[in-house]
Amino acid sequence: MPESRVHFEPLCRFITAAMERLGLPPADAAVVGALMAQAELQGSDGHGVIRLLPYARRIRAGGINLHPEIKVVQERPAMAVLDGDNGMGHLVMQRAAEMAVEKARTCGIGWVGARFSNHAGPASLYARMPMAHDMIGLYFAVGNANHLPPWGGLDMLLSTNPIAVAVPAGAEPPVVLDMATTVAAYGKVKAKAQRGEAMPIGWMIDRLGQPLTDPKRAEEGFLMPIGGYKGYGLSLIVGLLAGTLNGAAMGRDVIDFNHDDVTTTNTGQAVMAIDLSAFGDVADFKARVDRLVRDLRASERMPGVERIWLPGQQSHERRAANERDGIPLPAALLGQLQDFARETGLAPLETIATMKETT
């Protein structure tokens, strides 16, 4: 199957146009388009343009407010809570990150949570935003479908609730952790099923607590939290900080947005910014991060290990490659996007001419 690639700018324009066609005001469509294309650029393909059709379905079903009045409902000098008014999560979280940065500039740290938000793409997008201001960024979110029970239980009351933290470095790429609190994200299970492959032991367990490795039986089991009961605790804590604290959905109130396009999700998320200059000399901090990164990377390796990776380094390299070569899109996804364009009267997504095979 020939590989299809798209450049960032045309992808961004395409998503923006699609969002406008779906009814978002142009400025809002541009924000969502840019953030979804950035997700693709950094290789977060599970949270990028693959979400366009599910978003469209939800928007058409009336499950998203196209003209939200995003407003501050609680505020202190270093924190705020936003009510996203059921708008697109990207709009709510971009606003939250901007406010967290402003607050950190005066207070040293800033924390902005949200309720009545929606799915906003990869966690690292928002954790990365404060870095442009020489700040560390943190992001917490309640996932939009419950995939794990409490440890030892069978009722799926918890989601993959991700954490992302982005720490600026100097000459080195930033350290960017973006992790679900489960061993595998649910998207990886779906991918294994599509390819007809077995899952490794440790990804899922069945209702008897036994390893589940057949991805076609995924509905019979649960995702495993990282570190067993520790990941269960971490998922719960992230949900309390990003959901309960903001008056957003958590536990049994979480809507499975894969199977429900209408009910307001009341998604909860939070962004924190930590201003490096409040803690001391910024250049000195970055130099210490560089030294630490280099020490880790230069570690003696286990047999068979070619390279020590730092968190965020793979997506850093992917971003550079995708900027240069274009963003790879699976043919099936590209087909769906072009069908969507045709149906809605949009110009088709402009792909890069397929290279001739060299012989």
Answer yes or no whether residue 227 interacts with a second copy by CB under 8 A: yes
Answer yes or no whether residue 201 interacts with a second copy by CB under 8 A: no
Which residues lie across from 260 on neighbouring strands?
none
Residue 141: both structure tokens together: 């979110």
Answer yes or no whether residue 226 interacts with a second copy by CB under 8 A: yes
Applying CB under 8 A, what is the total number of residues that bind a second copy? Answer: 80
| Strand positions, DSSP E, 66-108 | 71-76, 79-83
Segment interacting with a second copy, rule: CB under 8 A, options 18-26, 28-36, 43-51, 242-250: 242-250
Please give the residues from 126 up to 185 whose contact with a second copy meets the rule CB under 8 A: 136, 149-155, 157-158, 165, 167, 175, 177, 179, 183
Q: Which is nearer to a second copy, 53 or 78 (CB)?
A: 78
Segment interacting with a second copy, rule: CB under 8 A, options 64-72, 248-256, 260-268, 340-348: 248-256
- Smallest separation, CB 183 to a second copy (Å): 6
Q: Which is nearer to a second copy, 53 or 107 (CB)?
A: 107
Report which residue type is found at 128: R
Q: What is the dihedral of CA 27, 31, 36, 39, to 10 degrees?
A: 160
- Smallest separation, CB 28 to a second copy (Å): 27
CB 185 within 8 A of CB 226: no
Q: Which is nearer to a second copy, 35 or 176 (CB)?
A: 176
Please give the residues from 269 up to 308 whose contact with a second copy meets the rule CB under 8 A: 274-276, 278-280, 285, 288-289, 291-292, 295-297, 299-305, 307-308
Answer yes or no whether residue 111 interacts with a second copy by CB under 8 A: yes
CB 268 within 8 A of CB 170: no
Residue 189: both structure tokens together: 């299970």
CB 114 within 8 A of CB 90: no
The residues, ordered by sequence, that sit 6+ positions from 314 with a Cβ below 8 Å of its Cβ are 43
Answer yes or no whether residue 234 interacts with a second copy by CB under 8 A: yes
Give the side-chain half-sphere CA count within 13 A for 181.
Answer: 27
